[in-house]
A and B are shown apart, each in its own frame.
Chain A
Amino acid sequence: MSGAAAEIAFDRATKRYPGRAEPAVRELTLTVPAGAICCLVGPSGAGKTTAMKMVNRLIDITEGDISIGGTSVASLDVTALRRGIGYVIQQVGLFPHMSVAANVATVPRLLGWPKGRIAERVDELLDLVELPADDYRDRYPAQLSGGERQRVGLARALAADPPVMLMDEPFGALDPITRARLQQELLRIQHEVGKTIVFVTHDIDEAILLGDRIAILREGGVLAQYDTPERLLARPADDFVVRFLGADRGLKLLALRRLDELELGPLDGLVAPTADASTTLRDALSQMIVSGARSLVVVGDSGEPRGVVTLETLAAAVS
């Protein structure tokens, strides 16, 4: 179970704890396509972490099933299953007595890789997470900043090239600037490695930024909606989802699209403020408001005008 990404399928997966009337996760059915990031979001008590931990059986499934690449996780040896799944948690959990290299090498060593291959892999991964291997290999976790620790945590989870990654609020404890950087890093790394990722977060903005799919869970572990960020924002299933997405749902939707995705109007010699074609619709709207203009001239990379976007175009784009 390594290498190419694999589809994860929840099939009526349910978790009941003894002595509790309500299940923590109730008949969760959803499929994460191979190579996609699925964000599990929801308020506290919605069972998002429970749902994630059923995938690597840190929590046992009471009823239903979860399969990875068509194989039920219940049918696999539990240690083999876990060694084939990258696991990243908020507090990172680096082993404090081991160097960065030894931490990253954890699963390859458990799998009995030869030393030379492990050393090569460690350096490759430290490069991937942008921690120069020569500088960081021999450090201990106590010698790293919070952001660096989570980079090492990510490298450690990727070490044996697992097809599937589970990430439990990995950036939740970081300051906003470091978090934003690591979110971008994750997208860049995912572009290279193409894993199937289940990503738990309580931050809907993070889910919209990172998720190819978003599963919104509500109290009692019930799936409220499972969709792409665009469809979720444009067509929320019910009031709960609407409330969870927030009053600025329209702005979030605008933020998902860029000016170059729009049908632009003719220039017609219009004089208006200019905006780069890669600007998000949200930022374009903001620019219109602060400049008092109802239209913007969209320009390409070398500053050549491409066309005009109006307030009405923006409104039509999200309705």
Chain B
Amino acid sequence: MTDGLVEPLVAQSGPVIPDFGEGSDCVVDNRLFCPDWVRDNWSDVLQPALVEHVQLTIIAVAIGLVLSLAAALLTHRFRLLERPFGTFSAVVYTIPSLALFQLLVPVTGLTVTTVEVALVGYTLLILYRNIVEGLRSVPPEVLEAARGMGLTRRQTLWRIELPLAVPATMAGLRVAVVSTIALATVAALVVPKGLGYPIFLALREAFNTEIIAAGALAVALALVADALLVLAERALTPWSSARRTT
């Protein structure tokens, strides 16, 4: 681990002896949580880290979704591909994140690319499986009716199968987003970005407030993202919540 991951942290982190700078008694005494520190450091430390975290997550999930959708569509057309794609995404998923970063650093360096490749890799399993499952969940009589009425294969895919795969896809997307938000904190091992970075710095100094504030922001971000996705799903699939009203 010496050539890659630890060095940047050493280089970028503060002095080894705790020094919380000029601050309130609360900060100097390193009490559990100091609201004034959060207020003073919001715009310089926490807010930029939050924005970076959102960016890391959106890029990873967006690329993961595109790749998974492409793979799922290929699988839908050519059944034989299911095993190789499924195995690949499952194998990637089982690699511990620290090990995956370490494997990637020699190739892509200490860059955002390294982080994104790893984060994308972890979204593939859940997204791919859910989209394939969603496409497969279309009832056979619906497909027969579509064929009997003269929809072409492509029309059936775009008008029937993909819309009906949306609920399963959205369920996968929720899991992928929440787990990517959690996992992206580890990105700070590679690049000084995201909510993981203030946590790593604070860990070295055992500075409670910063750990708690950044951690809480990551949790809050995950909850908000999940809630937004639930709302998006309802807007996209009004039919799935429609039940007999009479």
Binding site for B on A (CB under 8 A): 56, 58, 78-85, 87, 89-99, 106-107, 110, 139-140, 142-145, 153, 156-157, 166
A97 with B150: CB separation less than 8 A = no
B142 touches which of A87, A96, A143 (Cβ 8 Å): A96
25 residue pairs of the A-B complex, CB under 8 angstroms, read A58-B144, A79-B150, A79-B152, A82-B147, A83-B149, A89-B141, A92-B145, A93-B139, A93-B141, A93-B142, A93-B144, A93-B146, A94-B142, A95-B145, A95-B159, A96-B139, A96-B164, A97-B160, A97-B163, A97-B239, A98-B239, A142-B239, A145-B244, A157-B149, A166-B148
B145 touches which of A83, A87, A143 (Cβ 8 Å): A87
B149 with A82: CB separation less than 8 A = yes
Q: Which residue of A lies closest to B138 (CB)?
A: A96
CB distance from A112 to the nearest CB of B (A): 13
Residues of A within 8 Å of B240, CB to CB, are 97
Residues of A within 8 Å of B139, CB to CB, are 91, 93, 96
B141 touches which of A56, A91, A139, A142 (Cβ 8 Å): A91
B243 with A95: CB separation less than 8 A = no
Given contacts A92-B141, A93-B141, contact A58 B147 (CB under 8 A): yes
Q: How far is the CA of A166 from the CA of B244 in the complex (A)?
A: 29
A89 touches which of B145, B152, B242, B245 (Cβ 8 Å): B145
Q: How far is the CA of A85 from the CA of B142 in the complex (A)?
A: 17
In chain B, positions 194-219 with a C-beta closer than 8 Å to chain A are none
CB distance from A51 to the nearest CB of B (A): 15
A83 with B150: CB separation less than 8 A = yes
6 tightest A-B contacts by CB? Answer: A93-B145, A82-B150, A87-B148, A91-B141, A83-B150, A93-B141
A56 with B145: CB separation less than 8 A = no
Residues of B within 8 Å of A110, CB to CB, are 149-151, 155
Q: Is B55 an interface residue (CB 8 A)?
A: no
Residues of B within 8 Å of A89, CB to CB, are 141, 144-145, 148
Q: How far is the CA of A78 from the CA of B153 in the complex (A)?
A: 12
Q: Which residue of A lies closest to B238 (CB)?
A: A140
Residues of A within 8 Å of B151, CB to CB, are 79, 106, 110
In chain B, positions 135-177 with a C-beta closer than 8 Å to chain A are 139, 141-152, 155, 159-160, 163-164, 166
Given contacts A58-B147, A80-B150, A83-B150, contact A143 B141 (CB under 8 A): no
Q: How far is the CA of A83 from the CA of B155 in the complex (A)?
A: 13
Q: How far is the CA of A139 from the CA of B148 in the complex (A)?
A: 23
Given contacts A81-B150, A97-B164, A107-B150, contact A142 B145 (CB under 8 A): no
Q: Is B24 an interface residue (CB 8 A)?
A: no
Residues of B within 8 Å of A99, CB to CB, are 239
Residues of A within 8 Å of B246, CB to CB, are 143
Residues of A within 8 Å of B159, CB to CB, are 95
B145 with A94: CB separation less than 8 A = yes
B150 with A139: CB separation less than 8 A = no
B21-34 interface mask toward A, CB cutoff 8 Å, 1 = contact, 0 = none?
00000000000000
Q: Is B237 an interface residue (CB 8 A)?
A: yes
B239 touches which of A79, A82, A140, A156 (Cβ 8 Å): A140
12 extra interface residue pairs, beta carbon distance < 8 Å, beyond A87-B148, A93-B144: A58-B147, A79-B150, A79-B152, A80-B150, A82-B147, A83-B149, A84-B150, A89-B148, A95-B142, A95-B145, A140-B239, A142-B244
CB distance from B150 to the nearest CB of A (A): 3
Q: Which residue of A lies closest to B155 (CB)?
A: A110
Residues of A within 8 Å of B164, CB to CB, are 96-97
Residues of B within 8 Å of A95, CB to CB, are 142, 145-146, 159-160
Given contacts A89-B144, A91-B141, contact A106 B242 (CB under 8 A): no
Given contacts A93-B139, A110-B155, contact A82 B148 (CB under 8 A): yes
CB distance from A126 to the nearest CB of B (A): 16
Residues of B within 8 Å of A90, CB to CB, are 141
CB distance from B5 to the nearest CB of A (A): 47
CB distance from A221 to the nearest CB of B (A): 21
